[in-house]
Amino acid sequence: MTPRAVDLIRRKRDGGILEPSEIQWLIHGLGSGEVPDYQWTALLMAILWQGMNPEETEALTACMMNSGTIVDLSKIPGRKIDKHSTGGVGDKTSLVLAPIVAACGVPVPMVSGRGLGHTGGTLDKLESIPGFRIDLDIEGYQRVLEECGLVLIGQTRAIAPADKRLYALRDATATVESIPLITASILSKKLAEGIDGLVLDVKTGDGAFMQRLEDAQALAESMCRIGRGLGKDMVALITRMDQPLGKAVGNAVEVAECVRCLRGEGPTDLRDLSIALASEMLVLGRAARTLEEAKAMCFRVIHDGSALERFRRVVEAQGGDPKVIDDLTLLPLPKVLREIPSPRKGFVTNVLARPIGHAAMLLGAGRARAEDQIDHGVGIILNKKCGDRVHQGESLCTILSNGDDPALQEVTKLVSGAFEVGESPVEVPDLIVDRLEHSFQLFG
């Protein structure tokens, strides 16, 4: 007997359980039009309020994943491993770790997203490289991965189309903040890429989507459990997003910082977190037996230049100008630099990530709405971070703008208010808060 959407909505509204076959019918109805958007909207709100158990969440993830193409990468040797971050301010680890992992021999098929609000997006950063194409089709995706050992694209129409429909409805109806829906959204896309394992970077803190640690832990546990249930090796690191990662916030400035990191330069926090995530990927990819061995491999490919060369190759393969890797001035540049001086001497005790990210968005580095245009040259450079000594009048950060921005006054206020300067130094806590693992026996 064919179910009725209204009955399933009522059951979920009242705290009941949906069967896998019913969830499959609902997802099919989303694509066929048999279940209209207004009924799906009601169901999403019911899920937000009542939740879903692991079996429901796994069924939803699988149905969304199977709503489109499951990419077959079996012809490419090796275990394919990806990484996903829940997003933050200055969060650019994908552009550092993907070339590192590929240079160590583990293929990295990466389908990334755009930024929205105060968080940046990997695709927006990549598009600051002149000519770089993130819109490859499945054939191009497979070709670049085979040639370069990594590929960096956006979601195609073929991959998890149900997710694209549902995310638009969630965004418009205040139903984004649901752990089962977030889990299904992320994993349906990632598992359709053709991967064997996934490393998650789940952010917590001021600049994170999940600001409370217990919410970040619950999301990490949900994604690891569901990914493992669908046959993938899963590891999650829960990391702090109380201050921006690295020193650059924007698009071109973040690409430049990633290139410097691959040269063996760049901020310590960005390098260390990128290598921690890359090491997890290498163990899941069976290129290393231990995290210590994997970490040594990461440093080796940075020092011998092969990680940077791998990034150069993928830039060229995806239509970008490879000369950018040697000459960072070929990236979009701002017209005006504005320094924000410290009001007193002392030590930086806090740099709030969220207002920094919001300020960058107002400059044009991010989007308040999905249709907003990006200015790839603008952003913010942090000259001081938490724990640093500072003198009165010394620059805390530099605002990169195009001069005539009407929001510059508000940006200046936001950025100035993000810095706290005290008399005594503070201890900066470790970036990695927790680690969760749901994986098969890797060696034996």
Cite the active site residues: 84, 163, 170, 185, 189
3-state secondary structure the chain: CCCCHHHHHHHHHCCCCCCHHHHHHHHHHHHHCCCCHHHHHHHHHHHHHHCCCHHHHHHHHHHHHCCCCCCCCCCCCCCCEEEEECCCCCCCHHHHHHHHHHHCCCCEEEEECCCECCECCHHHHHCCCCCCCCCCCHHHHHHHHHHHCEEEEECCCCCCHHHHHHHHHHHHCCCCCCHHHHHHHHHHHHHCCCCCEEEEEEEECCCCCCCCHHHHHHHHHHHHHHHHHCCCEEEEEEEECCCCCCCEEECHHHHHHHHHHHCCCCCHHHHHHHHHHHHHHHHHCCCCCCHHHHHHHHHHHHHCCHHHHHHHHHHHHCCCCHHHHCCHHHCCCCCEEEEEECCCCEEEEEECHHHHHHHHHHHCCCCCCCCCCCCCCCEEEECCCCCCEECCCCEEEEEEECCCCCCHHHHHHHHHHHEEEECCCCCCCCCEEEEEEECCCCCC
